[in-house]
Amino acid sequence: MAQNVGSADRTVRVIIGLLLLSMLFIDGNARWFGLIGLVPLLTALVGSCPLYSITGMNTHPKPRPKM
């Protein structure tokens, strides 16, 4: 799998994932939505987003050519 998630995008995904996971500590039915937080955390960890692959998006910087 090619990386298509850049560093700024990864940071945002980690923050959103942690915020969603914090919902697990809330009482009520909404707490199970916190498990959705695993998705952005995993895509940030791996550096590849399947939705980006489908849509052709890429926030990962291209490598510089070697001289």
66 domain residue, yes or no: no
14 domain residue, yes or no: yes
Residue 64 burial (CB < 10 Å; 0-12/13-18/19+)?
A: exposed
Provide the pLDDT confidence category of residue 31 given band limits of 50, 70 and 90. Answer: confident
Counted domains in the chain: 1
Q: How many helices (H) and strands (E) does the chain have?
A: 3, 0
Mean pLDDT of 35-62: 93
39 domain residue, yes or no: yes
Are 44 and 17 in contact by the 8 Å Cβ rule? The answer is yes
- In whole angstroms, give the CA distance from residue 63 to residue 13: 22
Q: Kindly report the pTM of this predicted structure.
A: 0.83
Q: Which positions ≥6 away from 62 have C-beta within 8 Å?
A: none
Q: What pLDDT shows up at residue 19? A: 94
Domain that holds residue 28: 7-55
Q: What pLDDT shows up at residue 50? A: 93
Provide the pLDDT confidence category of residue 2 given band limits of 50, 70 and 90. Answer: confident
